[in-house]
Amino acid sequence: MFVLDASALLAFLQGEPGCERVEEALPQGVVGAANWSEVIQKLLSRGVDVSLATSLLFSYGVQIREVTEADAEQAARLWHPGSGLSLGDRLCLALGQRLDATVLTADKAWGNATGIEQIR
């Protein structure tokens, strides 16, 4: 199982570097509801056909997971001044921890800590 950050999904949808790695992970991919909202927002802001993009992702088997109370609390614990991690980033990491899954991201600010895989 892989948890997919918004940046990873957007890299796939836009054919950016790392998109092949994301495509490999999509059949076992889950995305948290908060990160799903980030993806939709970015697609809307770029005038992309959201229904087409989401249909493509769902055709691979991508699943949306809810944000739980435990995720919210863990995301708060992951906050550190100057870390560069947004609330969405921390919720994604918390979901990865809860599911004991590797998190795929294109966001270099996340580094290469255990459980994080940079796609480029």
> Looking at residue 76, what is its pLDDT?
96
> Looking at residue 108, what is its pLDDT?
85
How many domains does the chain contain in total? 1
> Looking at residue 82, what is its pLDDT?
76
> Looking at residue 113, what is its pLDDT?
72
Domain holding 9, by residue range, is 2-118
Model confidence, pTM: 0.92
For the segment 23-77, what is each residue's pLDDT rounded down to a tens digit?
999 999 999 999 999 999 999 999 999 999 999 999 999 999 999 999 999 999 9
CATH of the domain at 76: 3.40.50.1010
Which of 74, 93, 85 is CA-nearest to residue 32? 93
